[in-house]
Amino acid sequence: MKLISYNVNGIRAAFTKDFTGWLKVADPDIICIQESKAGNDQIDIESFEKLGYHSYWHSAVRKGYSGVGIASKIEPKQVIYGCGIEQYDHEGRIIRADFEGYSVISVYVPSASNIDRLDFKLQFCEDFLEYIKELRKTIPNLLISGDFNICHKPIDIHNPEGLKNVSGFLPVEREWLSRFIDECELIDSFRFFNDQPDNYSWWSYRQNSRARNKGWRLDYNFVSYPLKDQLRRAVILKEVVHSDHCPVMAELDI
pLDDT digits (tens, 9 = 90+) for 183-223: 999 999 999 999 999 999 999 999 999 999 999 999 999 99
115 pLDDT more than 90: no
Q: What angle separates helix 171-183 from helix 118-135, to the nearest 10 degrees?
A: 10
Beta bridge partners of 96: 80, 105
pLDDT at 169: 98
Question: CATH number for the domain including 162?
Answer: 3.60.10.10
Active-site residues: which are they? Answer: 147
Domain limits for position 97: 2-252
Confidence bin at 114 (pLDDT 50/70/90):
confident
SS3 204: coil
Q: What is the pTM of this model?
A: 0.98
Query: What's the structural domain count of the chain?
Result: 1
d(C-alpha 126, C-alpha 118), whole Å:
12
